[in-house]
Amino acid sequence: MKWMFYLLFGFFQLGVQTVWANDASCYAIHDSDRKNVCLAMSKKQNSYCYSVKDHDTKSMCLANVMAQQSYCYSIKSHDMKQQCLAQVK
**Full-model pTM:** 0.76
For residues 40 and 48, the answer to whether their CB atoms sit within 8 Å is yes
Total count of domains within the chain: 1
Query: What's the confidence (pLDDT) of residue 4?
Result: 53
Give pLDDT tens digits for 51-82: 999 999 999 999 999 999 999 999 999 999 99
- What's the domain range around 13? 2-87
pLDDT digits (tens, 9 = 90+) for 7-30: 555 545 444 444 445 778 899 999
Residue 42 CA to residue 49 CA, distance in Å, equals: 12
d(CA 27, CA 84): 25
Q: Report d(CA 87, CA 84) in Å as an integer.
A: 5
pLDDT value, residue 20: 44
